[in-house]
C-alpha cells in the first residue's frame, strides 16, 4: 500500500505566477507527479522575486515538480506536449484560450487525445463575460473584491496588504477542486473542465458582509483593529522599533485575568471599564492606559505573561520572529532548500546555486504526509520525462535540443 | 456559456462529515458542503455561538437570522448534541461509526478529555478521516495558546505588512484568518478520502495549523527569508508600493482606482497616455523608463504625476480605457459593487437561496465554474432541524428517547 495520497495521478502544469504553481506544489506534496512545462526563453516574472535575491522564492512554488523545457509553439514541441497529455490525468493552465488555440493545445484538442482528462483553467477575472479578457494582478484584486474597503482605520483610506492577496486563495481552492474532480471521474466516468478565477476567489472572502448589505443595505465600516465583541482589542506599542503586541479580551473572566497580569492598576477598577459595553465605550482611554504599560515591556514578555494567564495575545511577528520561532522550529515549518539565481539571457542550467528557505505544508496528514520534496531547476527533469516517461530515444532528444524545441 | 439548469452533479459524493468547527474552521466544512458532502453541523443544545453573532436583519438578534451563520453553513444539516454528557458522547460515537469525516476546531486536548480524540474515534471507525483546525497546531510550545482573528493575523505576521508605514499594523477587515487554514484542511480531507477510497487506505488524522497556513498566504513578501539573507524585517508599505511604481490604489474623480504597471512596455504605454492627457512632458523622462526597479528612485515625482492623471477620470473610465490599452487598471469595489458586478454575474458566482426565516438572498457559491458540475443550493439549516431524521430514522431512536434526551439536555 502506498503512503502517498495521490500516487499514480499525473498532472501537466503549464503557466507562470503564483496561484497555478502553488496548486501544482500542493498536488505534488500529496504524491501526484507534477510535470511543469516551461522554457528558458520566456521566464516566469516570479523567478526574479524577491528583487534582492532573484529566484530564492521559487522553491516555495516550484519544488517537488518534474521541470521540463519544451517549446510548444513548434510543431514538434506541440506533438510531444500532446504525448505528455495522453499519459496524464490533469491539465492545469492559466494561459488564455486564444493563445492555447494558436499553439494547437486548446481544451478540445487536449480532450481529443485524452478524453477523460481533468482540466483546471485558472483565470484572472473569469473564463467568459464582459471583461474576461482584462488583465489582473492578485495584489490588486484585494481592492477589486471589496476587502481593502473594509480594511484600515476609521476615516482613513482603504488599507492594503503587500502581497498577491487572492492568488493564494485560488492556489489552494484549485487542488481541492481537482481532487474532487478525480473522485467524480472515478465515480461517474466523466471528465470535467473547471474554471477558477482570482476575482471570484477573492470576492468570496468578503464574507458575511455580502449578506449584510443585501439585508440591511449596510457597507462594512473600517474599524482598524477594533471589534464590536471585544475590548481591549488591538495592537499595543512595545519596546523596540516597530514592535507591537496584539491583545484580545472577549469576556469578563479574561478581563479579570488581564487586570491581574497588569498588576491590578488603579484604573482597572474604574467603573468606566467594568463591563464589555463600558470598555467599548471608553476604548480610546483604555487603549492609552494599556499602551503605557506595554510600551515599557517587550512584545514577547507581554505575550507570554498574558497567554500564561489565559488571555489571547501575540507579538505582531516580523521576519526575525518567524525565522527564530521555537514553535515553528519544533514543527519543522521552515526548511533549508537550494535555489538557482535567475539570470536573463542565460540558460537555467548555468544559473548559480544558492541556499534559501522554504515552508513545509501547513496540513499534517498522519498516514500520507505532505512531502517537502526536492527542488529541480528548469529543464532538470528532461531526461526523465522525455527519455523514461515518453520513451524518446537519445538521438531524437539531441535533435530536439539542436532544433531549439527542447531548450 | 451557461450551466445546464438540470445539472445536479456535484463535485464530491455525499460524504458524511460531522462538523464540530467554530468560526476558525467553519469555512472548511462550508466548502465541503457546497461541493456536495453531507455535512451535519453539531450544535450545542443552546445553538452554535455563531447564531448569536451578527449581523442580523435590522440588528435584531435572533438565532435563526445570524447572517454569519447563514453565510458559513450553506448546504449543511443541523442537529443538536451535548458533547459534555455521557449520553451525548455515546450518540456522537454512534454517529462516528457511519461518518466519513469529523472536522473540529476545539481547543487542543478538549476532545481527548471527553474520550473523543482521534485515537478513540479511530477504534470505532478505522475508515474515519479526522481533521483538527487549530490556531497553532496540535504540537509545539504555542499549541495551547489562545487565539482569535486578530491574534492569528499578528502571530503570522500578516498584519505586519498591512497598513501604512507610519501607522500601527492593521488587520484585514474581512476575518482573513478564517480562510487559509480552512482551505488547506479541505484539500487534505479530500486527499485523505481519495487515498481511502481509491487506494485502499485507511482513515487518518490531519493536524492543520492556522498559523502556518496564514504564513503561506503572503509568501511573496518572504519575511523569514528576508531576515535570513539580509537581516531585514519587511514592513508595511501602505496602499501603494515603493518597489513597483505605480502599483496600488490611487484617488480618482469619484473614489479610488487600483493600477499596477510592471513591464517596460506597460510603462511606455502609460507614460504616453499620461502625456496625452496632462500635456506634461516630464512623464516621458528617459530615466523613468524600463522595469519597475528603474522607477524606484523617482517614486515621489512619478506618483505625483500619476495621481494628477488619475484624478481627472472616474474609476469606470480608467478601468476600461486602461484595460483597452492592455494596462492593469481595476476598480476599488465595496460589497455593493460586487453584488452588481456583471463579470461575477457572468461567472455564475451568485446563487439565490431562500432561507425560511430570512428570505431569498444571493450567496457566493460559484468559486469555480463548470458546465458539468454544480454546487449545492440549500440555505443554512435551522437549529436542530435534522434531529428527527438523524436520531430517529438513522440511529433508530424512538420519539420517547428524543423526549428524554431533550429533557436531560443531551440534545
Q: Are B169 and B163 in contact (CB under 8 A)?
A: yes
Q: How far A73 CA lies from chain B's nearest CA (Å)? A: 23
Cβ–Cβ below 8 Å for A161 and B172: yes
Predicted confidence (pLDDT) at residue B147 exceeds the cutoff of 50:
yes
pLDDT digits (tens, 9 = 90+) for A14-27: 999 999 999 999 99
Residue B304, C-beta contacts closer than 8 angstroms, at least 6 positions apart: none
Q: Tell me, yes or no, whether B329 and B351 share the same domain.
A: no
Q: In what order do the strands lie in the sheet with A312-315?
A: A233-237, A244-248, A312-315
Mean pLDDT of A92-101: 96
Residues in chain A with CB shorter than 8 Å from the CB of B228 are 323, 357
Let me know if A330 is exposed, middle or buried by CB neighbors in 10 A (0-12, 13-18, 19+): middle
For chain A, say whether B395 makes contact (Cβ under 8 Å): no
Cell of B72: 458559513
Predicted confidence (pLDDT) at residue B57 exceeds the cutoff of 60:
yes
How far apart are the C-alpha atoms of B122 and B99, rounded to whole Å?
11
Residues in chain A with CB shorter than 8 Å from the CB of B233 are 242, 318-320
Q: Tell me, yes or no, whether A188 and A294 share the same domain.
A: no
For chain A, say whether B165 makes contact (Cβ under 8 Å): no
Confidence band, pLDDT 50/70/90 cuts, at residue B1: very low
Query: What are the helix (H) ranges across B125-222?
Result: 149-155, 180-198, 210-216
Q: Are A403 and A74 in contact (CB under 8 A)?
A: yes
How far apart are the C-alpha atoms of A261 and A274, rounded to whole Å?
17
Report pLDDT for B386. Answer: 97
Within a domain: B1: no
The closest alpha carbon to A3, from A361, A366, A375, belongs to: A366
The closest alpha carbon to B191, from A306, A370, A294, A5, belongs to: A5
pLDDT digits (tens, 9 = 90+) for B318-328: 999 999 999 99
Q: Domain ends where: A300, A323, A346?
A: A323
Report pLDDT for B107. Answer: 97
The gap from C-alpha A327 to its chain's centroid, in whole angstroms, comes to 21
Residues in chain A with CB shorter than 8 Å from the CB of B197 are 183, 186
| Percentage above 90 pLDDT, chain B | 91
Within a domain: A220: no
Mean pLDDT of B119-137: 98
A313: containing domain: 233-323
Q: Tell me, yes or no, whether B67 and B162 share the same domain.
A: yes
Q: Are A197 and B347 in contact (CB under 8 A)?
A: yes
| Higher pLDDT, residue A391 or A344 | A391
Cβ–Cβ below 8 Å for B219 and A317: no
What's chain A's average pLDDT? 96
Confidence band, pLDDT 50/70/90 cuts, at residue A2: low
Within a domain: B228: no
| Percentage above 70 pLDDT, chain B | 98
Report pLDDT for B2. Answer: 47
For B258, the closest of A140, A214, A366 (CB atoms) is: A140
Nearest CA in chain A to B32: A176
Report pLDDT for A51. Answer: 82
Scanning the structure block, which residue is given the C-alpha cell 515625482?
A: B301
Predicted confidence (pLDDT) at residue B292 exceeds the cutoff of 80:
no
Confidence band, pLDDT 50/70/90 cuts, at residue A252: very high
Residues in chain B with CB shorter than 8 Å from the CB of A193 are 370-372
How far apart are the C-alpha atoms of A206 and A67, rounded to whole Å?
36
How far apart are the C-alpha atoms of A109 and A78, rounded to whole Å?
11
Q: Tell me, yes or no, whether B23 and B131 share the same domain.
A: yes
Predicted confidence (pLDDT) at residue A226 exceeds the cutoff of 60:
yes
Within a domain: B231: no
Q: Tell me, yes or no, whether B36 and B104 share the same domain.
A: yes
What's chain B's average pLDDT? 95
Q: Are B187 and A361 in contact (CB under 8 A)?
A: no
Report pLDDT for A402. Answer: 94
Mean pLDDT of A190-206: 97
Q: Are B386 and B45 in contact (CB under 8 A)?
A: no
Confidence band, pLDDT 50/70/90 cuts, at residue A323: very high
Q: How far B47 CA lies from chain A's nearest CA (Å)? A: 18
Mean pLDDT of A183-198: 95
Residue B2, C-beta contacts closer than 8 angstroms, at least 6 positions apart: B348, B371
**Number of neighbours of residue A98 by Cβ within 10 angstroms:** 9
Report pLDDT for A267. Answer: 92
Note the maximum CA span of chain B. 86
Within a domain: A211: no
Total beta-carbon pairs less than 8 A apart between chain A and chain B: 505
Q: Tell me, yes or no, whether A332 and A376 share the same domain.
A: yes
The closest alpha carbon to B370, from A196, A171, A172, belongs to: A196
B43: containing domain: 16-217+346-407
For chain B, say whether A92 makes contact (Cβ under 8 Å): no
Mean pLDDT of A152-167: 94
Within a domain: B401: yes
Q: Domain ends where: A323, A349, A384?
A: A323
Predicted confidence (pLDDT) at residue A393 exceeds the cutoff of 90:
yes
Cβ–Cβ below 8 Å for A248 and B198: no
Q: Is the complex ipTM higher than 0.90?
A: yes
Within a domain: B70: yes
Q: How far B401 CA lies from chain A's nearest CA (Å)? A: 36
Which B-chain residues 92-131 have CB contacts (< 8 A) with chain A?
none
How far apart are the C-alpha atoms of A135 and B357, rounded to whole Å?
41
Q: Tell me, yes or no, whether B29 and B168 share the same domain.
A: yes
Predicted confidence (pLDDT) at residue A401 exceeds the cutoff of 90:
yes
Domains held by chain A: number: 2
Mean pLDDT of B257-272: 94
Is A252 strand, coil or helix?
helix
The gap from C-alpha A185 to its chain's centroid, in whole angstroms, comes to 27
How far apart are the C-alpha atoms of A52 and B226, rounded to whole Å?
9
For chain A, say whether B2 makes contact (Cβ under 8 Å): no
Amino acid at each position: 500500500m502506498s503512503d502517498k495520497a495521490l500516487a499514480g495521478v499525473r498532472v501537466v502544469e503549464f503557466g507562470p505566477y503564483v496561484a497555478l504553481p502553488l496548486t501544482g506544489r500542493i498536488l505534488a506534496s500529496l504524491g501526484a507527479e507534477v510535470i511543469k512545462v516551461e522554457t528558458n526563453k520566456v521566464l516566469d516574472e516570479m523567478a526574479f522575486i524577491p528583487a534582492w535575491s532573484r529566484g530564492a522564492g521559487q522553491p516555495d512554488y516550484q519544488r517537488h515538480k518534474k521541470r521540463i523545457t519544451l517549446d510548444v509553439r513548434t510543431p514538434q514541441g506541440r506533438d510531444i506536449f500532446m504525448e505528455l497529455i495522453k499519459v496524464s490525468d490533469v491539465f492545469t493552465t492559466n494561459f488564455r484560450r486564444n493563445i492555447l488555440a494558436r499553439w494547437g493545445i486548446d481544451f478540445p484538442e487536449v480532450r481529443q487525445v485524452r478524453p477523460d482528462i481533468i482540466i483546471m483553467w485558472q483565470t484572472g477575472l473569469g473564463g467568459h463575460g464582459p471583461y474576461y479578457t482584462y488583465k489582473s494582478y492578485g495584489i490588486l484584486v484585494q481592492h477589486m473584491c471589496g476587502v481593502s474597503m473594509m480594511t484600515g482605520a476609521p476615516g482613513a483610506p482603504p488599507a492594503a496588504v503587500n502581497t498577491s492577496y487572492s492568488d493564494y486563495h485560488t492556489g489552494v481552492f484549485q487542488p481541492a477542486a481537482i481532487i474532487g474532480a478525480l473522485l467524480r471521474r472515478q465515480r461517474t466516468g466523466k471528465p470535467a473542465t473547471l474554471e477558477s478565477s482570482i476575482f471570484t476567489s477573492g470576492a468570496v472572502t468578503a464574507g458575511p458582509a455580502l449578506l449584510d448589505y443585501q439585508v440591511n443595505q449596510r457597507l462594512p465600516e473600517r474599524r482598524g483593529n477594533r471589534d464590536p465583541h471585544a475590548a481591549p482589542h488591538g495592537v499595543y506599542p512595545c519596546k523596540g522599533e516597530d514592535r507591537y503586541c496584539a491583545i484580545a479580551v472577549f469576556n469578563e473572566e479574561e478581563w479579570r485575568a488581564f487586570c491581574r497580569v497588569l498588576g491590578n492598576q488603579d484604573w482597572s477598577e474604574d467603573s468606566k471599564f467594568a463591563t464589555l459595553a463600558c470598555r467599548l465605550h471608553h476604548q480610546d482611554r483604555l487603549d492609552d492606559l494599556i499602551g503605557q504599560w506595554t510600551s515599557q515591556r517587550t512584545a514577547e514578555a507581554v505575550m507570554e505573561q498574558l497567554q500564561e494567564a489565559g488571555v489571547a495575545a501575540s507579538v505582531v511577528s516580523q521576519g526575525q520572529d518567524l525565522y527564530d520561532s521555537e514553535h515553528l522550529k519544533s514543527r519543522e515549518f521552515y526548511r533549508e532548500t537550494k535555489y538557482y539565481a535567475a539570470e536573463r539571457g542565460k540558460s537555467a542550467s548555468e544559473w548559480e546555486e544558492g541556499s534559501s528557505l522554504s515552508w513545509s505544508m501547513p496540513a499534517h496528514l498522519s498516514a500520507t504526509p505532505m512531502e517537502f520534496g526536492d527542488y529541480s531547476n528548469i529543464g532538470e527533469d528532461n531526461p526523465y520525462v522525455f527519455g523514461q516517461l515518453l520513451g524518446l530515444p537519445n538521438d531524437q532528444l539531441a535533435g530536439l535540443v539542436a532544433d531549439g524545441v527542447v531548450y | 456559456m451557461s450551466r445546464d439548469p438540470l445539472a445536479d452533479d456535484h463535485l464530491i459524493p455525499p460524504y458524511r462529515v460531522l462538523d464540530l468547527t467554530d468560526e476558525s474552521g467553519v469555512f472548511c466544512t462550508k466548502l465541503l458542503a457546497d461541493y456536495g458532502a453531507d455535512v451535519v453541523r453539531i450544535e450545542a443544545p443552546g445553538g452554535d455561538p455563531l447564531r448569536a453573532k451578527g449581523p442580523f436583519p435590522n440588528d435584531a438578534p435572533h438565532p435563526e437570522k445570524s447572517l454569519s451563520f447563514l453565510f458559513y453553513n450553506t448546504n449543511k444539516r443541523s442537529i443538536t448534541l451535548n458533547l459534555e454528557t455521557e449520553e451525548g458522547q455515546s450518540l456522537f460515537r454512534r454517529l462516528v461509526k457511519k461518518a466519513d469525516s469529523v472536522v473540529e476546531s476545539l481547543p487542543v486536548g478538549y476532545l481527548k478529555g471527553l474520550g473523543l480524540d482521534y485515537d478513540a474515534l479511530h477504534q470505532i471507525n478505522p475508515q474515519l478521516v479526522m481533521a483538527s483546525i487549530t490556531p497553532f497546531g496540535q504540537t509545539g510550545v504555542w499549541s495551547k495558546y489562545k487565539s482569535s482573528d486578530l491574534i492569528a493575523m499578528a502571530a503570522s505576521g500578516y498584519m505586519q505588512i498591512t497598513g501604512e508605514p507610519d501607522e500601527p499594523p492593521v488587520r484585514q477587515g474581512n476575518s482573513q484568518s478564517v480562510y487559509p487554514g480552512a482551505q488547506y484542511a479541505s484539500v487534505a480531507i479530500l486527499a485523505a478520502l481519495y487515498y481511502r477510497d481509491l487506494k485502499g487506505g485507511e482513515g487518518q488524522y490531519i493536524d492543520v495549523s492556522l498559523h502556518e497556513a496564514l504564513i503561506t498566504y503572503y509568501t511573496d513578501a518572504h519575511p523569514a527569508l528576508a531576515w535570513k539573507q539580509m537581516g531585514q524585517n519587511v514592513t508595511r508599505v501602505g496602499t501603494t508600493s515603493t518597489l513597483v511604481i505605480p502599483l496600488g490604489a490611487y484617488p480618482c474623480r469619484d473614489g479610488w482606482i487600483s493600477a499596477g504597471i510592471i513591464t517596460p512596455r506597460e510603462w511606455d504605454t502609460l507614460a504616453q497616455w499620461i502625456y496625452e492627457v496632462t500635456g506634461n512632458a516630464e512623464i516621458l523622462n528617459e530615466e523613468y523608463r524600463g522595469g519597475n526597479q528603474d522607477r524606484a528612485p523617482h517614486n515621489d515625482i512619478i506618483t505625483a504625476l500619476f495621481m494628477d492623471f488619475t484624478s481627472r477620470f472616474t474609476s469606470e473610465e480608467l478601468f476600461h480605457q486602461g484595460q483597452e490599452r492592455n494596462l492593469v487598471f481595476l476598480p476599488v469595489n465595496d460589497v455593493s459593487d460586487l453584488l452588481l458586478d456583471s463579470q461575477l454575474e457572468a461567472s455564475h458566482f451568485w446563487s439565490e437561496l431562500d432561507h425560511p426565516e430570512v428570505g431569498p438572498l444571493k450567496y457566493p457559491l460559484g468559486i469555480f465554474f463548470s458546465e458539468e458540475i454544480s454546487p449545492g443550493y440549500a440555505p443554512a439549516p435551522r437549529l436542530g432541524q435534522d434531529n428527527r431524521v438523524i436520531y430517529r430514522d438513522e440511529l433508530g431512536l424512538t420519539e420517547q428517547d428524543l423526549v428524554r434526551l431533550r429533557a436531560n439536555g443531551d440534545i
